């Protein structure tokens, strides 16, 4: 009896081990298939950085934009700026001067180019420059990172499916499942971004031109330069003085009535003094 029970137990253990080994074998086979499919197409992310000098920054920027469109790419950044290096002010006359400025123009661009067209695009851009200051390409192999993310995603999917088959899901288990599902989404997005970076290479371009001289006639912004000459100032002072004299004369004329009154007073006073003088004269 004991021997029969022992045989049954050994058989059960063997069957369990066989089933378990079969499950591990199936999981390993699935992982190997995923690994083989990914390793056959390595996830290589390419980035290019070029710095070069051109004849005209504005025209080069427009030409690169046309070239990117031709290669079915996308411009993700484009900035152009001019910086004044030095300037001189040359006086032409009292109210105008010539402003001579030397300024430097630079530009930077970031573009996405299909990886299978990257080499042709870089070659054509290099021919736009007078000379190349620097040009480099980096290749980031994300194959194993991609594989690791995908296998972890598969494990979490399997875990979620097993938990969903349970008869009862508690609130705590539901929160755990939600976190696991969010993590699955993050890993899917990570691999999608890697796929996009593999498909479209990033090219960073920075270019510049020789200093440009600009001449322009501008108004003189110094108020002291607008003083009139001495001769004109003297003539203006004479005219102002004459106008003031005429104003005073007009004011005096307004008081004409006091002239005859004063004359009458003066004549009366003389008459009075003369008469008094005759009265005071002694009789002989």
Q: What is the chain's length?
A: 284
Highest mean pLDDT among 26-30, 77-81, 184-188: 77-81
65 and 78 Cβ atoms separated by less than 8 Å: yes
pLDDT in tens, 151-193: 787 777 777 776 666 656 666 666 776 777 777 778 888 888 8
Between 79 and 247, whose confidence is greater? 79
pLDDT score of 235:
76
Q: Give me 10's structure tokens.
A: 């050994």
**pLDDT at residue 229 greater than cutoff 80:** no
For residue 181, the model assigns a pLDDT of 73
Highest mean predicted confidence (pLDDT) among 52-66, 139-153, 260-274: 52-66
Give yes or no for residue 244 having a pLDDT over 60: yes
What would the mean pLDDT of 121-131 be, rounded to a whole number?
Answer: 93
Domain boundaries, the chain: 43-227
Q: Which pLDDT band holds residue 22 (cuts at 50, 70, 90)?
A: very low
- In the predicted model, what is the mean pLDDT of the chain? 77
pLDDT score of 226: 61
* pLDDT band, residue 25 (cuts 50/70/90): very low
């Amino acid at each position: 009896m004991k021997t029969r029970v022992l045989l049954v137990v050994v058989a059960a253990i063997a069957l369990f081990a066989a089933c378990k080994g079969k499950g591990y074998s199936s999981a390993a086979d699935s992982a190997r298939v995923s690994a083989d499919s990914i390793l056959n197409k390595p996830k290589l992310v390419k980035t290019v950085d070029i710095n070069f000098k051109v004849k005209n920054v504005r025209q080069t920027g427009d030409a690169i934009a046309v070239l990117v469109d031709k290669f079915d790419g996308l411009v993700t950044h484009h900035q152009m700026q001019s910086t004044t290096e030095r300037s001189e002010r040359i006086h032409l006359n009292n109210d105008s001067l010539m402003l001579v400025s030397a300024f430097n123009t630079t530009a930077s661009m970031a573009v996405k180019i299909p990886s299978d067209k990257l080499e042709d695009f870089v070659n054509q851009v290099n021919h736009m420059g007078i000379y190349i200051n620097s040009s480099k390409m980096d290749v980031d192999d994300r194959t194993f990172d991609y594989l690791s993310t995908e296998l972890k995603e598969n494990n979490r999917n399997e875990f979620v499916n097993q938990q969903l088959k349970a008869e009862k899901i508690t609130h705590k288990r539901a929160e755990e499942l939600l976190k696991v599902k969010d993590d699955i989404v993050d890993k899917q997005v990570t691999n999608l971004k890697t796929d996009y970076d593999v498909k479209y290479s990033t090219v960073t371009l920075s270019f510049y031109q020789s200093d440009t001289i600009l001449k322009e006639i501008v108004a003189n912004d110094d108020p002291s330069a607008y003083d009139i000459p001495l001769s004109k100032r003297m003539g203006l002072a004479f005219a102002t003085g004459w106008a003031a004299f005429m104003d005073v004369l007009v004011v005096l004329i307004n008081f004409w009535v006091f002239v005859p009154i004063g004359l009458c007073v003066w004549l009366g006073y003389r008459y009075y003094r003369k008469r008094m003088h005759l009265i005071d004269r002694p009789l002989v």
